[in-house]
Structure 1
């Protein structure tokens, strides 16, 4: 299950790039996911059990952060489109 969740991020990134809209996305959800991955990574370092899994945490953090940046960009594009519609 977690593997599927981690593998879904490249698809989310591609969707964010193509759609150019943030409808149906939550910035706070993505922030919570990043915090969760950071806690998992910190747990690996605190326990001294740093294995190859740490690389997956870092990769997932990078992908979610990329999607977060795209979501913020798309929210800005949505606001601009709404302003054009009202003019």
Structure 2
């Protein structure tokens, strides 16, 4: 069981490593270009399914659930920035 949790933790750390960079780029670029809302939503649904699996499994270590929560939070922040950037782009287009 320990190896199973260790492998899942490794996967979540590897997947989660990219989100801070994505959030930073979304924040500084102030653009939604190159982002896919559908992709972000699919990732959120996947992480929520992972949390559900952990809660139903019962034997899952709490650190696995914590990493899922951290990852879904980061993707949610990036999704909110997507909407902010869409609004900024729309506002800029109206001014021109």
TM-score scaled to structure 2, two decimals? 0.82
User: Unmatched 5+ residue regions in structure 1?
Assistant: none
User: Unmatched 5+ residue regions in structure 2?
Assistant: 1-9
Distance, in Å, in 1 between the alignment partners of 2:47 and 2:60 is 14
Distance, in Å, in 1 between the alignment partners of 2:76 and 2:60 is 22
Give the length in aligned residue pairs. Answer: 85
Consecutive aligned runs of 4 or more in structure 1 exceeding 3 Å deviation = none
Which residue is equivalent to 1:14? 24
Aligned with residue 71 of structure 2, among 56, 60, 84: 60
Let me know the Cα RMSD of the aligned residues: 1.3
Partner-residue secondary structure (3-state), 2:18: helix
Which residue is equivalent to 2:81? 70
Q: What is the Cα deviation at residue 79 of structure 1?
A: 1.0
